[in-house]
Amino acid sequence: MTKAEIGLALRRARTNAGLTQAALARKVGTSQPALARAESGLVEPSLDLIERITAATGETIRMGSIAVVPTGRLTVARDERLARAIGDYRFDPWDRDPTPAEQRSLRREEMKREGRGSKTAAAGRTSRTRS
């Protein structure tokens, strides 16, 4: 079965379920552009993604002599997969010594330096002096 044929089967399952690409992408824990690439046959989707789509749509997807049957639940939610991959790591943009422009942007977005030592807090204050 070609990538295009798999893509058509994915699109059929989505449309039969009455879902938009964006809605299905949210349900299966992927992005709408990634789903669009799979449906258009530009990429070959992983079996994991196909299984999640069958679970989200309730549709059986046939690929040649193989049928991927819906399990009735999403196998692993995106947040759970992410947690397994990175553990309890939490990205803090202040840890990477942002440029003055990035600092202004972070402040506009109200991203405060919380729980930081005096060294980091002092680094966040920039003074502009002309010589």
SS3 68: strand
For 37-87, the pLDDT digits (tens) are 999 999 999 988 998 999 899 998 888 777 777 765 554 555 666 677 787
Query: What structural domains does the chain harbor?
Result: 3-85 (1.10.260.40), 93-124 (no CATH)
- Confidence band for 25, pLDDT divided at 50, 70 and 90: very high
Give residue 69's pLDDT.
Answer: 76
Position 123, amino acid: A
CA pair distance 35, 101, nearest whole angstrom: 34
Give residue 38's pLDDT.
Answer: 96
- Confidence band for 125, pLDDT divided at 50, 70 and 90: very low
For 107-122, the pLDDT digits (tens) are 887 766 654 443 434 4
Buried b (16+ CB within 10 A) or exposed e, 53-77: bbbbbebebbeeeeebebeeebeee
